[in-house]
Amino acid sequence: MTDLASLNAQALAAIDAAASLDALEAVRIETLGKQGSVTALLKSLGQMSPEERQTQGPAINGLREAVTSAIAAKKDALESAALNARLATERLDMTLPAPDAHAGSVHPVSQVMDELAEIFADMGFAVAEGPEIEDDWHNFTALNIPETHPARAMHDTFYFPEDAGEEAKQMLLRTHTSPVQIRTMLNQKPPIRVIAPGRVYRSDSDATHTPMFHQIEGLVIDKGIHMGHLKWTLETFLKAFFERDDVVLRLRPSYFPFTEPSAEVDVGYTLVNGKRVIGGSEGWMEVLGSGMVHPRVIAACGLDPNEYQGFAFGTGVDRLAMLKYGMDDLRAFFDGDLRWLKHYGFAALDVPTLSGGVGA
């Protein structure tokens, strides 16, 4: 009995003393290996009488279990210590920078055009397009601006040499998106609801004018469309675009050769920290030109002005972007300065949606 007890104590002490997995393995071999001390005791059970085995068996097996579990426990402890030691050597400076990611951006003009397409889609407007190199018939004549009309002088038009076009048409850079009205009416039967965003050109350059800029045109042609519909459409659009319910419009009678009656539209603003913020009516800013499509324009497109009437409006996309997002220099829009593009641009996933809001 004392033999067993001392063997037990001796083995446990040796396990406890093992400083490495190798040392522990040596202890295991000494005790539980083929020639091991505990193994020898287990073997001795065979030679014992049944009575002796009755008492010695459980004791010897108990010894084996105690040693086995002590070794397993020690092994876990040693492995865990070894892992910890290894992990300790693997420490990284997590303040070091991760590889650079390059944030791309969408230009504010593109973003605003997407916003407008989204808003107007909800009102049933499709997006129409037309050429930027136009002929004078589409840009002027069909829009009720004959050659001698003083309104032609209001448009500082870029012309191409007279022989540049086909069939001796005078070709020019469109001065507004309104020729898309003409193209749409010529190609499509009413009811028509379209917006036409795009580049337009005027020979004008100063702090607030660039020779190229962006406009968006709206056109509705149907039976029974009147000025009240125009007003509602503009109110609805501007409220949706600025995502404010306090947007106030002021319509002023005006003149465009291609609309009759015509109205310029001012939107009310409030001064916040010296900046004009759309909403309220502390002051007024002109944002839109609009009117009922002139009967002569409808007739020029082969439609009967007694049957069909409608409205058109146009506004500057760059200007809408400036009013909503606060840029104050139009020239920067076309400079391609990465610092500006990153600051005023939009993330790829800032896709305007009605559920998420069109603004970003």
Q: Does 337 bind another protein (CB under 8 A)?
A: yes
- Of the candidate spans 34-42, 71-79, 219-227, 275-283, the one that interacts with another protein by CB under 8 A turns out to be 219-227
Q: Which of 9, 43, 58, 124 lies at the binding interface for another protein (CB under 8 A)?
A: 124
The residue to which tokens 């426990």 are assigned: 73
Asked if 20 touches another protein (CB under 8 A), the answer is no
Q: Is 287 helix (H, G, I), strand (E, B) or coil?
A: strand
Select the residue interacting with another protein from 54, 69, 159, 272 (CB under 8 A).
159
- C-alpha triplet 328, 336, 276: angle, nearest 5°: 10
281 scored as a contact of another protein (CB under 8 A): no
Q: Is 334 an interacting residue with respect to another protein (CB under 8 A)?
A: yes
C-alpha–C-alpha distance, residues 256 and 258, integer Å: 5
- As beta bridge partners, residue 217 has 196, 314
| Minimum distance from residue 199 beta carbon to another protein (Å) | 6
- The whole-angstrom separation of Cα 61 and Cα 72 is 16
Binding region for another protein (CB under 8 A) out of 54-62, 66-74, 160-168, 175-183: 160-168
Single-letter amino acid, residue 136: D
* Beta pairing partners, 162: none
Q: Residue 76 or 122: which CB sits closer to another protein?
A: 122
Amino acid at 144: N
Closest distance of CB 124 from another protein, Å: 6
Binding of another protein by 54 (CB under 8 A):
no
Nearest CB to another protein, comparing residues 63 and 173: 173
Q: Six-digit token pair at 255?
A: 């003149």
CA-based R_g, the chain, Å:
43
By the rule CB under 8 A, 254 interacts with another protein: yes
Instruction: Choose, by CB under 8 A, the member of 38, 240, 263, 301 that binds another protein.
Output: 263
Q: What are phi and psi of 209, to 5 degrees?
A: -130, 135
Which one of 48, 255, 270, 327 is in contact with another protein (CB under 8 A)?
255
Report which residue type is found at 208: T
